[in-house]
Amino acid sequence: MKLLHITHRRGFTLIELLLYVAISSAILLVTSLFLQTLLESRIKNQTIAEVEQQGLQVMQIITQALRNADSINFPVQGESAASLSINTIETGNNPTLFDLVSDAIRIKEGGASPIALTNSRVAVSDLTFKNLSHTSTPGTIRVRFMLTHVNRGGRTEYNFSKIFYGSASLRQP
């Protein structure tokens, strides 16, 4: 009698192979979506940090200059303006002027050339200086401006704006 000897081949069936490809594709899809979300979140955090850093730095420079000033030239008491002119202790820096030109806050000290206090990655708008001084008191100025991250690519993670407020008084003589 002849025995039939059946050998079993080891390998994958078509169903097993399709199942493996489907599971691998799902894992790759979930991983890539997670990495894309992570990248967008990182970009958004960098955008916010850029605006925050620029705004705080500009506010610190303006308030420090005001604290070290002798007098306020412009705006006059009770008025608001888009620029600020002060006289400082160092007469070579007089007048010191803060203004807004081409979406950047600038400082101009005496006869020197103006220097931009913000970089090209942020745009400044609504710069306002209000003189809150009262008669026979040191001058007080309230500063307000809005910083918006420049979004050249139109991607939503680059959209961010913030309004900065601050005030400073001249030191007593």
Give per-residue pLDDT as tens, 41-100.
998 999 999 999 999 999 999 999 999 898 899 998 989 999 999 998 888 888 999 999
Which H/E stretch holds residue 61? helix 14-67
Can you read off the two tokens belonging to residue 61?
């420079």
How many Å is the maximal CA-CA distance in the chain? 125
Band (148; pLDDT cuts 50, 70, 90): very high
Would the pLDDT of 3 be above 80? no
| Helix then strand then coil, % of the chain, to nearest 5 | 35, 30, 35
Tens digit of pLDDT for each residue in 12-30?
Answer: 788 988 999 999 999 999 9
pTM: 0.78
Q: Alpha carbon of 162 to those of 51, 83, 123, 126: distances in Å?
A: 7, 20, 11, 11
Strand-pair partners of 143: 129, 166
pLDDT tens track for 98-123 = 999 999 999 999 889 999 999 999 99
Query: Residues with Cβ < 8 Å from 70, sequence gap 6 or more?
Result: 86, 87, 88, 89, 170, 173
49 C-beta neighbours (distance < 10 Å), count: 11
